[in-house]
């Protein structure tokens, strides 16, 4: 007789895809390689942010506050009312809470695909019917997205810039799409990478939010603010949506060190923005280098680039791994490469050249 087994989970759980985190690689000599498989900042944290988080750790025996200090700071920074801002332990948590509050069995959730891989996981785990809409030329197809909205659609998830393709939409088209949605459908505009794209589009999104009660704009401190390991996210939404989020949210997910780090990062926004500009410059250099090798690279407005390599995706990822570079492979579709520092990006180009030649990496 075998060991006893636990109860079976819900049938729907076994059908959910798993989120796959980025991996690491080693250089040929065994030293740690370059991790370009997760969209993280390549820079170390500025010391004032580290110090602020360290000071907050001294009170770790106490529960953190509600995060209202950060919410009020963000509201003032972006011309919003404090009751229009919700904060949490990552924008992904806010997305999950939105799905919990507004969808479920009998509701559908529409999103472009391929897009952020957590979308079908979270929507499916809430019991909603997921409706992936194919991309068009590596970009979200807004017309197809609109056509997929049905009477039971309670939420549309729109990543702009899109992950993993990096492509961004004309905001005039996003606005027109948002205004056409029925009032019963919430549009979640996921702007995790907006700092690496058009700042005017990012600003217009928040202005549009004030006009459309069914629009939610989500942002993160993980990318431009380099706090991926601390998990800080926020959203701008109608006060009634914020209230709904507060009702379903798990308490205390935004830790005191994370909030302290986010507040300190806002104090250093100018310095962090200079780092963003460096990443953008490196992104353009990397894109140009890959294109010179004959590879297709859609224009990216994020901190990564996308190579739609189809059946050769795993081959390219293996060439990078052999050169000590980890990238994010979506088998049969493409490869996403996070933009690193100059040395890291040169390693990507060397691996790409090897891949194009069909030979072993140098």
pLDDT digits 0-9 by tens, 24-33? 888 888 888 9
185 and 251: one domain? yes
Q: In this structure, is residue 2 part of a structural domain?
A: no
Give the CATH number of the domain where residue 88 resides: 3.40.640.10
Strands 186-190 and 153-159: parallel
Q: In this structure, is residue 3 part of a structural domain?
A: no
Phi/psi of residue 166, nearest 5 degrees: 80, -5
Q: Which whole number is the average pLDDT over 208-227?
A: 97
Is omega for the bond preceding 161 within 30 degrees of 0, making it cis?
yes
CA angle 118, 92, 260 (to 5 degrees): 150
Both tokens assigned to 62 = 């106490």
Q: In this structure, is residue 361 part of a structural domain?
A: no
217 and 145: one domain? yes
Give the CATH number of the domain where residue 345 resides: 3.90.1150.10
Q: In this structure, is residue 6 part of a structural domain?
A: no
Q: In this structure, is residue 5 part of a structural domain?
A: no
- The whole-number pLDDT of residue 18 equals 86
Q: How confident is the model at residue 149 (pLDDT cuts 50, 70, 90)?
A: very high
Q: How confident is the model at residue 1 (pLDDT cuts 50, 70, 90)?
A: low
253, 264, 272 from 53: Cα distances, Å: 16, 9, 17
212 and 291: one domain? no
277 and 205: one domain? no
Q: How confident is the model at residue 22 (pLDDT cuts 50, 70, 90)?
A: confident
- The whole-number pLDDT of residue 14 equals 85
Both tokens assigned to 161 = 């810039």
pLDDT at 129 > cutoff 50: yes
Q: Which whole number is the average pLDDT over 55-66?
A: 94
Q: In this structure, is residue 79 part of a structural domain?
A: yes
- Number of domains the chain contains: 2
302 and 178: one domain? no
122 and 262: one domain? yes
80 and 37: one domain? no
CB 335 within 8 A of CB 309: yes
Residue 302's closest CA among 203, 220, 188, 230? 220
23 and 76: one domain? no
Looking at residue 300, the DSSP 8-state letter turns out to be: P
Q: Which whole number is the average pLDDT over 246-259?
A: 96
Segments forming the whole domain that contains residue 224: 48-267
- The whole-number pLDDT of residue 359 equals 52
158 and 201: one domain? yes
21 and 97: one domain? no
What pLDDT, in 10s, does the model give residues 72-111? 999 999 999 999 999 999 999 999 999 999 999 999 999 9
Strands 215-220 and 34-35: unpaired
- The whole-number pLDDT of residue 305 equals 98
- Comparing 136 with 23, which gets the higher pLDDT? 136
Q: Which whole number is the average pLDDT over 235-241?
A: 98
262 and 334: one domain? no
Q: Which of 209, 244, 267 is the last residue of a domain?
A: 267
Lowest mean pLDDT among 9-13, 76-80, 91-95, 204-208: 9-13
Q: Residue 42: is it exposed, middle or buried by C-beta count within 10 angstroms (0-12/13-18/19+)?
A: buried
């Amino acid at each position: 007789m075998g060991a006893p087994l636990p109860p079976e989970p819900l049938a729907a759980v076994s059908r959910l895809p798993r989120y796959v985190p980025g991996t690491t690689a080693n250089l040929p000599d065994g030293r740690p390689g370059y991790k370009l498989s997760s969209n993280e900042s390549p820079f170390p944290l500025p010391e004032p942010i580290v110090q602020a988080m360290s000071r907050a750790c001294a009170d770790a025996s106490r529960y953190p506050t509600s995060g209202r200090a950060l919410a009020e700071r963000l509201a003032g920074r972006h011309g919003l009312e404090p009751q229009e801002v919700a904060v949490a332990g990552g924008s992904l948590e806010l997305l999950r809470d939105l799905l919990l509050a507004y969808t479920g069995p009998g509701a559908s959730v529409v999103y472009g695909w391929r897009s952020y891989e957590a979308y079908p996981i979270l929507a499916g785990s809430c019991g909603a019917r997921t409706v992936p809409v194919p991309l068009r030329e590596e970009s979200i197809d807004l017309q197809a997205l609109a056509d997929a909205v049905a009477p039971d659609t309670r939420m549309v998830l729109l990543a702009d810039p899109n992950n993993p393709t990096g492509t961004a939409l004309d905001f005039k088209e996003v606005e027109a799409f948002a205004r056409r949605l029925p009032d019963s459908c919430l549009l979640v505009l996921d702007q995790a990478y907006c700092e690496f794209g058009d700042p005017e589009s990012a600003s217009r999104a928040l202005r549009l939010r004030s006009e459309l009660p069914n629009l939610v704009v989500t942002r993160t401190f993980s990318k431009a603010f380099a706090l991926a390991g601390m998990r800080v996210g926020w959203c701008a939404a109608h006060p009634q949506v914020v209230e709904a989020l507060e009702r379903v949210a798990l308490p205390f997910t935004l830790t005191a060190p994370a909030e302290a780090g986010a507040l300190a990062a806002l104090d250093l926004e100018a310095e962090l923005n200079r780092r963003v500009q460096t990443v953008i410059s490196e992104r353009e250099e990397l894109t140009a280098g890959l294109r010179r090798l004959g590879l297709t690279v859609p224009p990216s407005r994020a901190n990564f680039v996308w190579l739609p390599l189809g059946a050769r995706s795993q081959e390219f990822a293996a060439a990078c791994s052999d050169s000590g570079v980890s990238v994010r492979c979506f088998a049969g579709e493409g490869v996403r490469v996070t933009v690193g520092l100059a040395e890291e990006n040169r390693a990507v180009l060397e691996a790409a050249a090897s891949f194009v030649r069909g030979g072993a990496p140098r």
